[in-house]
Amino acid sequence: MKIKTLLFLSLVVGASCSVSAQTSTPKVKYSSEKFRDNIFISIGVGVQGYLNTDNFDYGFGKVMEPLVNLSVGKWVDPCWGLRAQLSGWQAKLYTDIDRLNNGNVYNKFQHKYVNFNVDFMLNLTNLWRQYSLDNKWDMTLFLGSGLSFGKFHNKDVDVAINGSIGLGGKYNINKYWAIDLEARTHIMPTFFYTTKYSGSEEIAGRSYQDGLLSVALGATYTFGGKKFVAYERSTASERQQLNDKINSLEKELKNTQSQLDAAKVAEAVAKKELARTETEKAEAITKATAEAARKDFRQYVGFTINKNAVTAEQMVVLQAVANYMSANPNVKMKVVGYADRQSGKASYNLKISEKRAKAVYDLLVKKFRVPAERLTYIGLGDQEQPFKEDVYNRSVIILGER
């Protein structure tokens, strides 16, 4: 596999994972709240072998060498992260190519090397299941590139660009410590050049590319322990607090509006009572009271940040609206959606407010059988903020049309 191909594969997989992360909607999303959270250090020891045609001919098991690696990284969320790793020791090459052949005896070559890689880490296990601190097992895919430094024979230190891919298994002892088992391969241009032998090429083997296959066992320590915070912390509690405050504001608004409307009704009746009969006065009072009630009617439906789904707790509000409209067949309602100005751009807030209004409108028509011609809906985004508290503006207000 060419290095360019491996690097291209890394970019494609990383991009696809990013798209998947944006389009997927897990039950609860987590992230590192602070930059210093979920930073870790790992150390491992193991064995590695040099992947080369000559070595496979000679016997791959005879070219195994010790391996040491050291990694420092950070998990941005439970599904992906980045790390930097140093790894290496020594690589062996056995070759019997014609210009190096000495009585059918394999020539042994060795060089010291070290790899420095920056890896994209993808936790496959947390992609498939809901993350929990109690989860004990993880499987992680590593994709990355970096530099390899090697010294062969009497040459100076060579530097080559490498590509790398690997798979790791992890057993989480607690939120601080984990045991790791990691297998990975590096691919880079060959380091086995020599000026000791004559020939058209200064290469000590038949391959122009090197590969290193390694397996290492080690341990990981996370500074301060794993700390992933849900995007929507205390959602139920916040929703309850929002409903309580909305209900309180609604009562205050109704009381104030009722007093004002009562005063207006009384004033209107007082002005005309001398010129009206008792029947006319009763009709006027009834009509004025109904008109005031219609204008006064309004209900509130709260939403979670970035959401437009109406929760089960809010259905009682929609039922109340449907009951009122059933009891007042001449009343028409307007469904107005809003968004929190502090939590998104104006264009996005306009769309989410429209979706919220449409969701409430659809439920009233389809679920609660309110005639569509008696309802209208509109999303105002963050053009207006009905409430001083930002979080309360993630709402839909249902009110009588004036």
Give residue-wise pLDDT tens across range 280-339. 655 655 565 555 555 567 888 999 888 999 998 889 989 999 998 898 888 899 999 999
CATH code of the domain containing 130: 2.40.160.20
Residue 72: strand pairing partners: 41, 84
Give residue-wise pLDDT tens across range 129-157. 888 888 899 999 999 999 988 876 666 77
Alpha helices for 168-296 (secondary structure H): 235-272, 278-296
What number of other Cβ atoms are within 10 A of residue 260's Cβ?
12
Token digits for 129? 């299941």
In this structure, the answer to whether residues 195 and 258 fall within a common structural domain is no
Q: How many percent of the chain have pLDDT more than 90?
A: 35
In this structure, the answer to whether residues 121 and 201 fall within a common structural domain is yes
State residue 111's pLDDT score.
74
In this structure, the answer to whether residues 58 and 174 fall within a common structural domain is yes
The overall average pLDDT reported for the chain is 79
Residue found by looking up tokens 């207000």 in the block: 397
Distance from the first to the final alpha carbon of the chain:
71
R_g over Cα of the chain = 35
- How many domains are contained in the chain? 2
Give me the mean pLDDT over the 17-40 stretch. 67
In this structure, the answer to whether residues 27 and 153 fall within a common structural domain is yes
C-alpha to C-alpha distance for 264 and 277, rounded to whole angstroms:
20
Domain membership of residue 388 as a residue range: 235-400
Instruction: Place 99 in a pLDDT band, splitting at 50, 70 and 90.
Output: very low
State residue 356's pLDDT score.
93
In this structure, the answer to whether residues 214 and 261 fall within a common structural domain is no
CA distances from 376 to 340, 356, 359, 385 (A): 22, 13, 12, 20
Higher per-residue confidence, 72 vs 193:
72
State residue 140's pLDDT score.
96
State residue 181's pLDDT score.
95
Instruction: Place 3 in a pLDDT band, splitting at 50, 70 and 90.
Output: very low
State residue 152's pLDDT score.
65
In this structure, the answer to whether residues 128 and 62 fall within a common structural domain is yes
State residue 267's pLDDT score.
75
In this structure, the answer to whether residues 155 and 289 fall within a common structural domain is no
Task: Give this prediction's pTM.
Answer: 0.50
In this structure, the answer to whether residues 202 and 275 fall within a common structural domain is no
In this structure, the answer to whether residues 199 and 168 fall within a common structural domain is yes
Give me the mean pLDDT over the 210-221 stretch. 90
Give residue-wise pLDDT tens across range 366-397. 999 999 999 999 999 988 898 888 888 899 99
